[in-house]
Every structure is written in C-alpha cells, then in structure tokens.
Amino acid sequence: MALLHSYFLSAGECVSGSMVLAVAMSIASYFLIPMVFGGRHKNWKNAPPGPVGWPILGSLPHLSNRLHEDFFHMAKIYGPLFSLNLGIKPAIVVSSPEMAAQVLKEKEGMFSSRTITETIRVISYDAHSIIFSPYGPRWKVLRRILITELLSPKAFEQFEPLRTSQVHGLLKYLYLVSKSNTQVNIAEYAFTALANLVSNFVCSKDLFDNSMPEGRKMKERFWELIKVIGTPNFSDLIPIVKPFDPQGLKRKINKIFGQLDAFYEKLIEERLAEKGKAQLDGTIPYKRKMDMLDVLLSYESNDKENGLDRLPKSIVKGMLSVSTYI
C-alpha cells in the first residue's frame, strides 16, 4: 500500500512538473517564436508601426539617456508616428509638425489625459491639477478658471507692475555685483526672479526670496523635488515591482512633499482666516486678490452632480503645487 501511494505521489509530481514546463514553454514560444520568424509586426492591435522589442522590457534595452536622438533615428525607420513599449507600458511617439497638429489641436480631447507617474501622483495630490487631471468635468472647470480669471488680458495687465518690479530688481542686483567685480551665477538669479514672479501669481508672495531663511529653504526643497521628478522610475515601466519601490523614489518624494503639504495647508488657512476676518468686521469688505489661490478658494457653481460646486482642498493644493514646481 505504501509502495502504491509512493508511486502515485511520484507520478503526480511528474505530471505537475510536466504541466509547469509545458505552460512555461507555451508562454516563451508566444513571445519568442514571432520574434524569431518575424510573425509579430505590431506592439498591440491597431498599433502604428514600430520596434516590437523584448517581452516585459519592451524597447528599453535599445534606448539610451538621449531619448530625443533615439526617437529621431526610429522616426527615420518607422515614420512620423510610431509605437513602442517602454517596459510593459505602450507608447506612441509623434515626430512631425503635421502629426503634432493633429494630436494636439484636431484631436485634443482624445489626447488630453496624461500618464501619471508615481512621483507626479504625489505632488499633484493624485492628479488634482489641470496639467495631470484626466479629461472630463474637473479638467474643463480648471481650464475655464485659468482662461477667464488668471490668463485673461485684464489679469496680465494687473500683473504688469509685478513683472516690471521683478525684472528691475534683477537688473539692479546684477549692476551692483558688477561694480564689485564679483562673480555671479546669472542663471540662478534669473531663475529666482522668474520663480518669485510665478509664486506671486499663485499666492501673492515671494516664496523664493534669497534674503530670507524660508526662501532659501524653499529653493532647496524645489531642487530636491526636481531631481526626484527628473529621475526615470523603473516602477512606472514595470508596475509589478511598484510595491517594492526599488529606487526609493516614492519614499524620497513623500519625505520632501510632506513638508510642502504642511506649507500649502498653512497658506490656505491664512487666506481663509483673512477672508473670514474681513467678513466679520463688516465695515471693510474683503478685497479679493487677483491670484490663483484666491480665485480657487472663491470658486462657486451649481455643478453638485460632479462635486464641483466648490473646489475641494485637494484640488486647490494640487493646483498650487504643480503651478509652483512644474
């Protein structure tokens, strides 16, 4: 009886092993045979022409850190619209003015949504900003706010004194430094002037003021953030490794952005308190500031169906974050 049991156990193990081997060979043949014999010509159904690449890795082994040059050479082979797989992520590359006009202008609604990476998901509060928000009611509301309230001719006219002040301040500083024969990094100070111009547009403050400790700290956080955002994340291309965060980028971005989130929270609370105090006094009505923060906090509509009768704090903070850092 024991021998019979051992026989069936061994037979079962052999069958199980054979099945695993057969399945593994089937999967391998599905990928490898078409590649060897040229039977697979497209990356996915109805995909534009392009390099098929390897299983799982896609075309990553054939790409360098100079993607623009790689794509230029591929466009010569496959045309101005071609497809490839970045890991297991499908991608389409557009490389001619005519094709770009079709994608960005004629078919804007179809291509308005963007791929959200792990780091971008954090800094945009899960895509709660116009840049990364998927095409839909929220995107349309934010776009309408920007066009009518913040990018209108009237708004540009109101911000003209601020632009003049920032440029004059930069020129004055460079002139004083030139008199002392001291070397100066013009790019750094030009960046500071531009960043302060944007931050005034966003919240009426010089967030990157070099003369203040908080301004210098903000600039340090900014560069740390840009460095992490600009680092290609393997987890975005091979999602199966996402829980392990192999490069530690999500941990880094969460650490940096935890401090920035507290700053945005404080900024919003201060503005709400300012508005509330003016309304309680009654004698002096609240004078609305022409900046993004005030426009977003003051927004009201009848769109309760999409939850956009007022903008939630996640959208306000997402807009502040992406406008300041992207």
Whether 7 shows a pLDDT value over 60: the answer reads no
pLDDT tens digits for 104-123? 888 877 777 778 888 888 88
Whether 172 shows a pLDDT value over 80: the answer reads yes
- Whole-number mean pLDDT of the chain? 82
How deeply is 46 buried, as exposed, middle or buried, from its count of CB atoms within 10 A (0-12, 13-18, 19+)? exposed
Segment of 71-85, 186-200, 268-282 carrying the highest mean pLDDT: 71-85
* Mean pLDDT, residues 256-281: 87
Whether 158 shows a pLDDT value over 90: the answer reads no
Q: How far apart are the first and last CA of the chain?
A: 74
Q: Please check whether residue 82 is in contact with residue 50, taking contact to mean a CB–CB distance below 8 angstroms.
A: yes
Give the pLDDT band (50/70/90) at residue 1.
very low
Residues 6+ apart with CB under 8 A from 134: 112, 113, 127
Beta-bridged to residue 94, according to DSSP, are 81
Q: What is the DSSP letter of 54?
A: B
Give the pairing of strands 81-86 and 89-94.
antiparallel
Beta-bridged to residue 85, according to DSSP, are 90
pLDDT tens digits for 58-81? 999 989 989 999 999 999 999 999
Whether 290 shows a pLDDT value over 80: the answer reads no
| pLDDT of amino acid 25 | 52
Whether 259 shows a pLDDT value over 70: the answer reads yes
pTM of the predicted structure, to 2 decimals: 0.75
Give the pLDDT band (50/70/90) at residue 187.
confident
Q: What is the DSSP letter of 129?
A: S
Whether 277 shows a pLDDT value over 50: the answer reads yes
- Per DSSP, the three-state class of 93 is strand
What's phi and psi for 90, nearest 5 deg? -70, 145
